[in-house]
Homo-oligomer: A and B are copies of this chain.
Amino acid sequence: MENKRVAYLVLRVLLAQPLSYWQLLKHIDVDLPTTQKSLKNLLEEGLIDYKDNLFFLTPKGEKTAKLLGISPFSSLICPECQGKTVSLAHHQALLNEFTEIIQGRPQAISEYDQGYVTPVDTVARVLFMYQVGDIEGKEIILLGDDDLTSLALLVSGWPKRVTVLEIDERILAFIERIATIKGWDNIDLIHYDARYPVSDELKGKFDVFLTDPVETIGGLRLFFSRCVEALRGEGCVGYFGLTHLEASRKKWRQIQQDILAMGFTITDIVRNFHTYLLEREDVVKLELRVAKEAPVKVEFPEIDFYTSNLYRIYAVETPQPLVKGKVDWERELYYDEEAYVTCP
């Protein structure tokens, strides 16, 4: 049934202009398997066509769009904040310093499902947290920090203390080096594999968690559970990103059921808050399903097509982890039938 939505969104954007596969994906808030199937249908039905790496509407497609009451799409996203709700205007110095210190950051390893968000988005996330009142004087834990948000937090000077749990030693070493140069002593760096429980000295110690979880149901459940054990209790909050590309709306519902079951309520969902700087050539070379199973032959992405939504959740009672103890998961932690931009 989501096919109908994909068709609707495709018709209205192509009515405005021809677009590459990657550009088109940015306009569709539906999971990739469904989107690919729907594009295939639209091609077969002769509503759209593909030439020189561009999708465009056929005369039949234009007629159908008109019958459906659709006009050429023109985005109304706020040009100032790009739909993030907070403005960076008064914090250019924060952005500049963050951008400067992350020069030389470890390259993302696509095979490990890494890929970080733009520096602007990382800083915007920090500003969003400030706006809502979740940073100043707070003890913050990050489970995974590809994005180096810990450094943006420390540049801001707002948090009381920042703790990073991360499996990639390169990232830990990089953060440590910058923190040493800057003389920041309110950061803790811990080598950590989410399959193991968090250590006792971390339990019940934090006001806020941040994580950018793998997008399988089990993976999310595991990441949230680990974060939850680190929180102090009622009134604590969590932030994370969730895509619609690799998480269908059905999966969203299951994830939301988990969130509520753990004792949280969802207070904010900001659409397309984050854009990821994936290794563009890897997307095609590694034969990720987003490229390999596209209904047309696609080139390397010419834009950053991968986005996610920002969630904030709030514990209305003592939050409870859904997963406890060690787990033995391997690949299934990262990979499910919707993981189309993840290495199989």
Chain A contacts to B: CB under 8 angstroms: 1-2, 4-5, 8-9, 12, 29, 68-71, 74-81, 83-87, 89-91, 127, 130-133, 136-137, 158, 160, 233-235, 248-250, 252-253, 256-257, 260, 264-271, 314, 316-317
CB distance from A160 to the nearest CB of B (A): 5
B267 close to A12 (CB less than 8 A): no
For A133, the chain B residues whose CB sits under 8 A away are 5, 8-9, 12
Which B residues touch A233, using CB under 8 A?
1
Among A8, A89, A137, the most chain B Cβ lie within 10 Å of the Cβ of A137
Q: Can you identify 5 A-B contacts, CB atoms within 8 angstroms? A: A71-B136, A77-B85, A78-B85, A79-B80, A253-B264
Q: Is the CB of A265 within 8 A of B271?
A: no
Rounded to whole angstroms, the CA-CA distance of A4 and B233 in the bound complex is 12
In this complex, what residue of B is CB-closest to A269?
A: B269
List of 6 A-B pairs having minimum Cβ-Cβ separation, nearest first: A69-B137, A80-B80, A78-B81, A253-B265, A83-B85, A252-B265
Instruction: Tell whether A256 pairs with B253 under 8 Å between CB atoms, given A69-B137, A268-B269.
Output: no
**How far apart are A326's CB and chain B's nearest CB, in angstroms?**
30
Among A68, A74, A248, A253, which residue has the most Cβ atoms of chain B within 10 A? A253
What residues of chain B lie closer than 8 Å to A68, measured between beta carbons? 136-137
Query: Which residue of B has the minimal Cβ distance to A71?
Result: B136
How many angstroms from the CA of A1 to the CA of B315 in the assembled complex? Answer: 10
Contact B249 A136 (CB under 8 A): no
Picked from B5, B87, B267, the residue with its CB within 8 Å of the CB of A79 is: B87
Question: Do residues A256 and B267 form an inter-chain contact, with CB atoms below 8 A?
Answer: no
A78 and B79 CA atoms in complex are apart in Å by: 10
Which of B79, B235, B252 lies in contact with A4, CB distance below 8 A? B235
Residues of chain B with a CB closer than 8 A to A5's CB:
133, 235
Which residues of B sit under 8 angstroms from A74, Cβ to Cβ?
90
Chain B residues with CB under 8 Å of A29's CB are 132, 267
Report the bound CA distance from A83 to B260 in whole Å: 26
Query: What CA separation (Å) do A176 and B87 show in the bound complex?
Result: 41
- Is there an interface contact between B253 and A77, defined as CB atoms closer than 8 Å? no
Residue contact A86 to B83, C-beta cutoff 8 Å: yes
Q: Are B270 and A76 in contact (CB under 8 A)?
A: no
Cα–Cα distance between A89 and B136 once the two chains are bound (Å): 34
Which single residue of chain B is at the shortest CB-CB distance from A160? B69
| A312 → B minimal CB distance (Å) | 9
On whether A256 and B260 interact (CB within 8 A), knowing A77-B87, A85-B83, the answer reads: yes
Let me know if B78 and A78 touch, CB within 8 A: yes
**A69 and chain B: residue at smallest CB distance:** B137
Q: A136-B12, A265-B252 are in contact. Are A2 and B87 (CB under 8 A)?
A: no
A76 to B94, CA, bound (A): 13
* A235 & B2 in contact (Cβ 8 Å cutoff): yes
Closest chain B residue, CB of each to CB of A68 = B137
